[in-house]
Structure 1
């Protein structure tokens, strides 16, 4: 069993409960659901604004990367076979979150449900190398397959 699958079982409590251990540290982190991220249209909700700068947990799917050498993936509410690239922040969908990571990361299948941990960041930004425009991001992201 690879490390991500082991961590996914551990996160679900399957392995931890069998050994009488507590849940992982991210179980204590605040979580944000896609449906709670926005209040009206493209305005962030009070809940999302309050989480700015905090480590949070989100659950979703990893869209396929634009290209293999990038340092981010797009977290989506539903599985997407292609990357939902946006060229204008006014068109930023409310069901995706740009998720940056440090170092190397193994991408997973777009149909795998994942739990993502990262520092929640907001505001319109453009990724220099790709031109990807984002309105919300997770920084220093890690994930486990559920």
Structure 2
């Protein structure tokens, strides 16, 4: 049995969506899911390092091979240090401690610093996100903040998953 009001609801829905079809960018928010380039490798936190040594962490063969390439990583956004920022810390699990309080030898193996290519609205730290950006590795001191990092995603964007 069909619903006699169904065509009227469909027409109203089409009319309500019509402005969005004419101006699709008008309704996009930071949670909009941009297309991910086909073939962009996904790296897990368990694939970042291969071993610990007296000098600290050793990068995995996968990280070494993908350095400079566009990659995807899923995790959680650590609470940002300030409301307006062009970077944040991606963690394997929700985190409340400051990861930048560590030295190179104490560097946690479950975080990646993310430098955004544009401003995005930060999300709650308990929401899973997927970040896409260019992988950069090696000890680096941010000249603006003085923070030290071992792994970074540059020119990055993220979406909730």
Root-mean-square deviation over aligned CA pairs: 1.8
With structure 1 as the length reference, what TM-score do the two structures score? 0.82
* Structure 2 residue corresponding to 1:4, chosen from 30, 35, 42: 30
Contact between 1:64 and 1:82, CA under 8 Å: does it hold in 2?
Answer: no
Query: Are residues 1:105 and 2:120 paired?
Result: yes
Unaligned runs of 5+ in 2: 1-26
Number of residue pairs the alignment of both structures matches: 131
Inter-partner Cα distance in structure 1 for 2:93 and 2:102:
20
Superposed, 1:15-54 pairs within 5 Å as 24-41=35-52, 42-54=57-69
Q: Which has the larger radius of gyration?
A: 2
Deviation digits for residues 52-101 of structure 1 (CA, Å, limit 9, x no counterpart)? 00000000000011122332100000011344223411111110000001
Runs of 4+ in 1 over 4 A off after TM superposition: none
Q: Are 2:147 and 1:136 equivalent residues in the alignment?
A: no
Offset from partner CA, 1:92-125 (integer Å, 9 cap, x none) = 1110000001332211110110010000000111
Q: Which runs of 5+ in 1 are unaligned?
A: 12-23
Question: Which of 1 and 2 has higher RCO (CA within 8 Å, sep 6+)?
Answer: 1
Length-normalised TM-score, structure 2: 0.74
In the aligned structure 2, how far is the partner of 1:102 from the partner of 1:144? 13
Cross-structure match for 1:14: none
Conserved in 2, the CA contact under 8 Å of 1:65 and 1:83? no
